[in-house]
Amino acid sequence: MSSQVDYILDFRGSISSISLLKITRIFNEMKALEIMEILGLDPDTLQDLFKVLADSSYEVIHPNTDAVEEKEEHHRLRIRKTSSI
């Protein structure tokens, strides 16, 4: 994980629908090639995120679906915005 991260969002313990709204809002404000790291996504929010974002607008650069900490059920994801929408 040597890529510099432009945005870090930590949603551990957050409500899923609010997390998804905030992620998409910030993603839409990002410039092309900026990177967002998202911590604490539950599996349902992660699936919903990929349904909301246009396939051509991002690339996953760190798809760590393992728990951030062994006893937690949170995930870490890094995505790079590939184009301005």
Contact between residue 58 and residue 29 where contact means Cβ atoms under 8 Å apart: no
Confidence band of 3 (pLDDT split at 50, 70, 90):
low
Task: Tell me the C-alpha distance between 76 and 46, whole Å.
Answer: 10
Residue 64 placed within a domain = yes
Residue 47, domain extent: 7-81
Q: Euclidean distance between the first and final Cα of the chain, in Å? A: 26
pTM of the model: 0.78
Residue 66 placed within a domain = yes
Mean pLDDT, the chain, rounded, equals 82
CATH of the domain at 60: 3.30.110.40
pLDDT recorded at residue 73: 56
Determine the average pLDDT of the residues in 55-71: 69
Determine the average pLDDT of the residues in 4-33: 90
pLDDT recorded at residue 36: 96
Residue 16 placed within a domain = yes
Residue 1 placed within a domain = no
Confidence band of 45 (pLDDT split at 50, 70, 90):
confident
Determine the average pLDDT of the residues in 38-46: 84
Residue 59 placed within a domain = yes
Determine the average pLDDT of the residues in 3-14: 87
What is the tally of structural domains in the chain?
Answer: 1
